Amino acid sequence: MSLRFVEVADRVHVLREPLLDVNVTLVVGDGAALLVDTLSTAGQAAELAAAARAVTDAPWTVVNTHRHFDHCFGNAVLAADPRRPVYAHERVVAALRDQPDRLRREAYAEVSAEWPTLASALADTVLLAPTHPVRDETTLDVGGRPVLLRHPGPGHTDGDLVVHVPDADLLVAGDLVEQGAPPAFEDAYPLRWPDAVADLLALTGPATVVVPGHGAPVDVAFVRDQHRLLTELAALIRAGHRDGVAPEEAAADAPFGARTALTAVRRGYAALDPAT
């Protein structure tokens, strides 16, 4: 089945890639467009480009919400020829520019057992580093539509960006918000993630549509509930570390399930341990 975009707000369209349920958002303005995230491989990115061209023939700017392969490995197809601006947090720019081999190895290891065909394609993917680093925030003009790119602090990674389209009352949260699966903590900052979600919630109103990194678009109530669970998890990590509770025991009854929480607890404990 070919990829296609669905309009979820005024001239804002979302495409859900079926294998990993990754979202790509397309914001269309007058004579310009913005693509938020670029999927995993050259093949996926080519399908994404065709789907975007079915919506608009305007030239696009690209944003990467973070450095994980399923959100930025398609950059070269979508922004190299013709050359297009690519925005990302400055840490994402540095990682893609300076450590492409490491990122490919990590991506291969993550998916090789379950999706060997995808893993093989990832191993050969040409990575294109973003051209426009963002430290805190910047505002783009997308064909007359202001779009805010904001780093809410470390959360899912150390280089997350959220994308706010105020005239459509829509926020792209990247993997700071997940629908249909628990948050992923492998590169996360579980003690600071609640603050990052609180920061993005400050951009929302009662009717804001929030596009998560994976899964169906959600409302603000969903995000507030996920913020509550992340806050509970962070408090559990701090209490467990203070009381000398083993990570496995601390994770047993934690939000998001013991297996997912164990990764968060271990990373949180490491953050709380004095530097040696």
Is the per-residue pLDDT at 1 higher than 90?
A: no
Q: Which of 147, 152, 108 lies closest to 127 in space, CA to CA?
A: 108
Asked whether residue 246 is assigned to any structural domain, the reply reads no
Asked whether residue 192 is assigned to any structural domain, the reply reads yes
Asked whether residue 1 is assigned to any structural domain, the reply reads no
Asked whether residue 236 is assigned to any structural domain, the reply reads no
HEC string of the chain equals CCCCCEEEECCEEEEEECCCCEEEEEEECCCCEEEECCCCCHHHHHHHHHHHHCCCCCCEEEECCCCCHHHHCCHHHHHECCECCEEEEHHHHHHHHHCHHHHHHHHHHHHCCCCHHHHHHHHCCCCCCCCEEECCEEEEEECCEEEEEECCCCCCCCCCCEEEEHHHCEEEEECCCCCCCCCCCCCCCCCCHHHHHHHHHCCCCCCCEEEECECCCECHHHHHHHHHHHHHHHHHHHHHHHHCCCHHHHHCCCCCCHHHHHHHHHHHHHHHCCCC
How many independent structural domains does the chain possess? 1
Q: What is the pLDDT of residue 223?
A: 98
Q: What is the pLDDT of residue 275?
A: 67
The stretch 133-149 carries a mean pLDDT of 98
The stretch 207-230 carries a mean pLDDT of 98
The CA angle 142-144-147, to the nearest 5 degrees, is 45
- Domain limits for position 46: 6-200+207-219
**Average pLDDT of the chain to the nearest whole number:** 97
Measure the CA–CA gap between 57 and 53, rounded to whole angstroms. 5
6 and 15 Cβ atoms separated by less than 8 Å: yes
Q: What is the pLDDT of residue 7?
A: 98
Asked whether residue 162 is assigned to any structural domain, the reply reads yes
Is the per-residue pLDDT at 276 higher than 90?
A: no
The stretch 235-248 carries a mean pLDDT of 98
Q: What is the pLDDT of residue 14?
A: 98
Confidence of residue 58 (pLDDT cuts 50, 70, 90): very high
Handedness of CA 152, 205, 148, 34 (dihedral sign): positive
Q: Which of 71, 35, 63 lies closest to 50 in space, CA to CA?
A: 35
Q: Which of 146, 165, 195, 153 lies closest to 66 in space, CA to CA?
A: 153
Residues ≥6 apart with Cβ < 8 Å to 155: 176, 188, 189, 192, 193, 195, 196, 197
Asked whether residue 226 is assigned to any structural domain, the reply reads no
The stretch 19-38 carries a mean pLDDT of 98
Measure the CA–CA gap between 76 and 60, rounded to whole angstroms. 14
The stretch 248-266 carries a mean pLDDT of 97
Confidence of residue 274 (pLDDT cuts 50, 70, 90): confident
Q: Which of 12, 11, 7 lies closest to 172 in space, CA to CA?
A: 12
Confidence of residue 172 (pLDDT cuts 50, 70, 90): very high
The pTM (predicted TM-score) of the whole model is 0.96
Confidence of residue 2 (pLDDT cuts 50, 70, 90): confident
Asked whether residue 173 is assigned to any structural domain, the reply reads yes
CATH number at residue 26: 3.60.15.10
Give the alpha-carbon dihedral of 107, 19, 91, 49, to 10 degrees: 120
pLDDT in tens, 32-46: 999 999 999 999 999
Asked whether residue 134 is assigned to any structural domain, the reply reads yes
